[in-house]
Amino acid sequence: MTVNEHPKAIATLSADGVHWIVPHCPICGREHYHGAGGPGANHAEYLGHRVAHCAGQHAGTHGYVLVQAPKGTDQWALLYGRAKP
Ligand SMILES: [Zn+2]
């Protein structure tokens, strides 16, 4: 494994297009928000490698690769691994 390999973080776009929401950080398991450009922006440009907000708190971690969740993905399902009851 090289230093350029980062875990993938599944992200969903907020309804207003302002944030990419990572419901379940692959490093710390918490929720993180990253800028997505705002309404009308090309949100995909904001995907890719990002510094995790928790980086530095966990030895050897510097970030992750933001990837868009498949269309229709339920944030609850991402977080808990099952459909919202
Ligand atoms: Zn984290």
**Strands, sheet with 19-22, edge to edge from the N-terminal-most edge strand:** 32-35, 19-22, 8-13, 64-68, 48-50
For the chain, how many structural domains are there in total?
1
Per-residue confidence (pLDDT) for residue 63, from 0 to 100:
87
Domain assignment present for residue 77? The answer is no
Domain assignment present for residue 64? The answer is yes
Domain assignment present for residue 82? The answer is no
Task: Please state whether beta strands 8-13 and 64-68 pair in parallel, antiparallel, or not at all (unpaired).
Answer: parallel
Kindly state the helix (H) or strand (E) to which residue 80 belongs, with its residue range. helix 75-80
The model's pLDDT over 53-85, given as tens digits with 9 standing for 90+, comes to 887 666 666 789 999 988 777 766 766 666 667
**Res 38 pLDDT > 70:** yes
CA 51–ligand 1 middle distance (angstroms): 9
Per-residue confidence (pLDDT) for residue 1, from 0 to 100:
44
Residues forming beta bridges with residue 34, ordered by sequence position: 20
CA 56–ligand 1 middle distance (angstroms): 10
Domain assignment present for residue 34? The answer is yes
CA 10–ligand 1 middle distance (angstroms): 12
Domain assignment present for residue 31? The answer is yes
Query: Domain range for residue 40?
Result: 8-72
